[in-house]
Amino acid sequence: MNNIIFMKYLSIFFVSLLLLSCGENKTDKKNTNLDKEFGVDFSNKGIGPIKELKFDEIDEELVQKGAAAYRSKCTACHAIDKKLIGPALKGIYKRRSPEWVVNLLLNPTEMLKKDPIAMALLKEYNNIMMLNQNLSEDEALAIAEFMRTL
Ligand code: HEC
């Protein structure tokens, strides 16, 4: 093989390497975007009546009340640790602020239209809208307390 042909092959080899690594960068970017959409953002408190919610020690009585409401109003669409019609709810406070969660329960229709995390979830869950269950604030807070125990 003379030198010129050798150089030609060598440059083809390097150009392919370069293209390959560009391809990899593209997929990296895509994944980062996805992470951003579902980004853990505790400063996002959602849209609704709950402006501040600080959790204290777990209130067992409230958990029991919340568990009963959860069983009758949420289990059609949610399971604790697997995807159903909606996301699994275990560890919800590791990815969402408590205010965001309770506002979603009280005001899902508006949140799904305007809140960036809720909008991304809606897209991911095939545009199935979480229903407004007309929960009272007390009921929503009881369910929120129950979800701390999952
Ligand atoms: C009709 C089915 C349905 C019912 C009933 C329902 N949900 Fe949902 N839920 C969803 C879907 C679907 C999503 C994802 C967002 C979307 O597409 O609306 C969701 C999202 C959520 C989220 C956000 C999860 C995350 O990862 O950020 C929480 C929290 C939640 N639901 C809690 C509840 C609770 C508590 C109840 C009962 C009071 C309930 N949901 C009732 C379908 C439902």
Closest to 104 in 3D by CA, of 78, 81, 128, 133: 133
Residue 134's pLDDT is 95
49: left (phi over 0), alpha (psi -120 to 50) or beta: alpha
| Ligand 1 mean position, distance from CA 71 (Å) | 13
What is the mean pLDDT, run by run of 10 residues, along the chain of 150 residues?
63 56 44 50 95 96 98 96 95 96 98 96 94 95 97
| Ligand 1 mean position, distance from CA 61 (Å) | 23
CA 25 to chain centre: 24
Ligand 1 atom nearest to 108, measured from its CA? 18
Measured from the CB, is residue 112 less than 6 Å from ligand 1?
Answer: yes
What is the per-residue pLDDT across 117-135, written as a single tens digit (0 to 9) for each? 999 999 999 999 998 999 9
Residue 40's pLDDT is 81
- What is the distance between the alpha carbons of residues 144 and 96, in angstroms, rounded to a whole number? 12
Long-range CB contacts for residues 34-38, cutoff 8 Å, separation at least 24? 37/116, 37/117, 37/120, 38/95, 38/117, 38/120, 38/121, 38/124
48: exposed, middle or buried (C-beta count within 10 Å: 0-12, 13-18, 19+)? buried
- What is the distance between the alpha carbons of residues 31 and 26, in angstroms, rounded to a whole number? 9
Ligand 1 atom nearest to 125, measured from its CA? 17
Q: Which residue has the tokens 């239209």?
A: 113
Residue 10's pLDDT is 56
| Ligand 1 mean position, distance from CA 101 (Å) | 9
96: exposed, middle or buried (C-beta count within 10 Å: 0-12, 13-18, 19+)? buried
Residue nearest to atom 13 of ligand 1 (CA): 86
Residue type, 92: I
Measured from the CB, is residue 131 less than 6 Å from ligand 1?
Answer: yes
| Ligand 1 mean position, distance from CA 16 (Å) | 46
